[in-house]
Structure 1
């Protein structure tokens, strides 16, 4: 027979593990944000900044949803509509940029392997990460509304569930950003970069289409 304290600990850990599993189920799917994190990880460029922005943003959204903001967002149809169209436009813009990078270049030096390519500015990378995170309506629907609702189902243990979901975000984005370095040998050739940028362009455009076609 467990003591009340031990019982509370066990149920809290169980709720946290449920949050961990549920959080991973929401963010592991390939999307605009994950594609961008993967690209930055392969380039080994501002990875820490990208990871922190993505994971910290998730923590804020998860906390908001757990605190009950989901119900408020659900009633703000006009706000979600604006974010939907602005987010779709931003995704298309980034998709076009990726598509242009994927095109063959006449100048062999125009597309360098990962170690020689000119790095993008930290500010520009941070702004792109913020845009892909906060201008995506799916973030609010999944993280604030859906995850917030599931957390509410855990009653007094909802914050333990939220902690598990937050851990999932940090584990995933850290693993994706820094684990992508293992692919560096594959991207030693410009052709591999063109393929990656082509895939990213398709992902970005498909996500944008899914936003405006709903």
Structure 2
């Protein structure tokens, strides 16, 4: 799953919602500052505190990822996407088509959910603007494997940049995807990727219930 898929159900609980974004966001902010369930679990409670809400959201993310990546739908669709990328990189055996199939399936899931829930992306970012970045960083550092002083700045940038909106256009999604490729030190994707994104969007839309079974989501 990805940012919007994890958090869209919790826009009425801003810190919980931000908690659902933190495992992915921390991988960008500071890869050494990991969020492990053993460190997060002691802070999970029903108390309406920043720490408890963040911890509950983080746990929600980790639980969601566990079932999501095990679904038949994700396995099949991410494989389909990998095959589409292999057709682009026919003569490049080093291309990480498995990685691309995985991450693009998640990005396209966010795209379809944003499309199917008009106005909810506005509520999502409005909820992000309600949190205190410094207090969020302080609380999160109690649960990470290593403290970081970079999170508060990233939280402000995440809300300001609102990059999830770019997912609604395949060309802009490619720009965002190539930012990921640069971050993980892989070659940028060619313009042909746009056709893969367009085809993949139709696949994800058609099989949305296979990706997000009602008993889980």
> TM-score under structure 1 normalisation?
0.30
Higher helix proportion, which one?
A: 1
- Greater RCO structure (CA 8 Å; 6+ sep): 1
Give the number of the structure whose alpha-carbon radius of gyration is greater. 1
> TM-score under structure 2 normalisation?
0.30
